[in-house]
A and B are shown apart, each in its own frame.
Chain A
């Protein structure tokens, strides 16, 4: 049990540092376009193009490689018309708005509970002993395994879907918040105290800002996992949702639409994570100042 906790922490460590570095601008003149950057960009675009060409070839020729077969995988030339078909569909707005509502409701709930719980658990050994063991047992259970329980527990199918995205987002937020609170430099707390800070001020002035980078990392990961859980959640849905659309396309054998749904989910997931990262950067201006310095 305790081993599991330690492993999960170290996973977070690696996760915690990379988003900031990945998002960090180049040290010198980040916006200027140089031939060197142009070459890198060209190479990256070329790689995407090569991937699409390969996919087109494998699918259109119905290549079978034994272990994996492309006989039934739609080719890009089938997916693009399907994409425009969905764009013109009157249901598109309903699909997207329903999915956004589910993902964001689950995410906001997970963020609120995860941060609040994480702040308390990170500061109190007693609360950690009381709350963490059951949470650690629930943590590895994947979203899809929650479906039957979610249906039984929530009379509204809408709430069961929100619950599944919520479960997906909760643990990254919770564990990153705990990690952030636990890694507050005790010297800073002692200093605040000797400068006249009372416990509430120490919490607001020291612990919260110190944990903010870790919390925003948790939120970015949580946003991603909330989208991962969307298809799972919308298996329950009767009518609308991008995840539902994807799942329904499989049931109806509209294979090209599956890939369109996947593309939509990927794009929305990426956009939401980028939005969270920007919010995180705005909340931690001192980190950008440090990056520039070194």
Chain B
């Protein structure tokens, strides 16, 4: 991406955005359907770190993210941001979902400028700053379109720009590229890293795609199947900026194998083997490396 240096617009306070998750349990549902989605989970995320939460579907990773966002309340324990308990949603914690939540009636520029409008910033000033962010995510020239006129990948870029305009202390992403086709997803991952190099905000990124987690993160947190607990905490030290060739590097494949092993063990413990695995004359042992995505 040939985005210009935006450091002036995106300058943020250093040393903020540290998240502390302390002995958190979260129960969801009512009455007989009530279950523990997250159980006694501890996690400290230092300021400016890019963390991926990796785990099978229904492992409580989105629930944990919702608790950090302030949309879900922890049943036990505490979630704090820079020492302050999280009480509800706040522009300091920008949240991006798998399916965009852009306002259909606002042009791209006004969607991005929404946070500033809520802060009472004047129209000319907020549009100027929004345009910088629109350009940063590579959508210069599209600012006067409506969301319905953009592709899925472009909509997610607008979504990212819209939360970044609030200078969030943390960026929370819940499988943001999960609904995109593979090529667009790769492009969006590179774009996200490109943007992140410039803003260096704390990122918590939920995914079930191992490649995605390892490619993006400083640190991958592998979670167990329900109730979600911490299974492994893997530092990812590949140098940045990262490129797609990394995905085939031996070190990358080694960590990926480790993750697959962890997740597969976790998966097999709770699930019946896949019908195809059971039918295979060689048994399930051969199917590891090829199964990159953990489907149900």
Residues on A lying within 8 angstroms of B by beta carbon are 185, 187-188, 190-198, 201, 205-206, 209-210, 212, 284-286, 289-290, 292-293
Contact = CB atoms under 8 A, between A and B. Distances in A.
Contacts of A191: 95, 101
Nearest to A198: B118
Contacts of B90: 194, 196
B241 to A, nearest CB: 30
Contacts of A293: 148-149
B118 A195 contact: yes
B270 interface: no
A211 to B, nearest CB: 11
B103 interface: yes
A50 to B, nearest CB: 42
A194 B114 contact: no
Contacts of B162: 195
Contact of B114 (A195, A212, A285, A292): A195
Interface of B: 69-71, 89-91, 93-95, 97, 101, 103-106, 114-115, 117-119, 145-146, 148-149, 162-163, 166
A141 B158 CA distance: 50
Nearest to B99: A187
B148 A190 contact: no
Chain B CB within 10 Å, residue with most, of A188, A190, A284, A286: A286
B95 A194 contact: yes
Contact of A284 (B105, B115, B119): B105
Contacts of A286: 104-106, 146, 148
9 contacts: A187-B97, A190-B89, A191-B101, A194-B95, A195-B163, A201-B118, A212-B105, A284-B105, A293-B149
B148 A192 contact: no
B149 A195 contact: no
B147 to A, nearest CB: 8
A197 B118 contact: yes
Q: Which 6 A-B pairs have the closest CB atoms?
A: A194-B89, A196-B118, A196-B91, A191-B101, A209-B105, A290-B148
Contacts, number: 66
B95 A205 contact: no
B105 A210 contact: yes
A194 B171 CA distance: 12
Nearest to B96: A191
A155 B149 CA distance: 55
A23 B101 CA distance: 28
B155 to A, nearest CB: 12
Given A194-B91, A195-B118, 14 more contacts: A194-B70, A194-B89, A195-B114, A196-B118, A196-B166, A197-B114, A198-B118, A205-B103, A209-B103, A286-B104, A286-B146, A289-B148, A290-B146, A293-B148
A206 B105 CA distance: 9
A195 B115 CA distance: 5
Contacts of A212: 105
A101 B89 CA distance: 50
B127 to A, nearest CB: 16
B69 A194 contact: yes
Chain A CB within 10 Å, residue with most, of B89, B97, B106: B89
B100 to A, nearest CB: 9
A289 B119 contact: no
Contacts of A190: 71, 89, 101
B146 A289 contact: yes
A198 B119 CA distance: 10
A194 B105 contact: no
Nearest to A292: B149
Contact of A289 (B71, B103, B149): B149
Contacts of B166: 195-196
Contacts of B69: 194
Nearest to A294: B148
B93 A206 contact: no
A204 to B, nearest CB: 10
Contacts of B115: 195-196
Contacts of A198: 118
A198 B145 CA distance: 26
Contacts of A196: 90-91, 115, 118-119, 166
Contacts of A205: 103, 114, 117
A145 to B, nearest CB: 40
Contact of A188 (B70, B89, B101): B101
Nearest to A284: B105
Contacts of A188: 101, 103
A194 B93 contact: yes
A187 B71 CA distance: 11
Nearest to B69: A194
Contacts of A193: 89
Contacts of A209: 103, 105-106
Nearest to B148: A290
Nearest to B165: A195
A120 to B, nearest CB: 21
Nearest to A197: B118
Nearest to A201: B118
B197 to A, nearest CB: 24
A20 B48 CA distance: 48
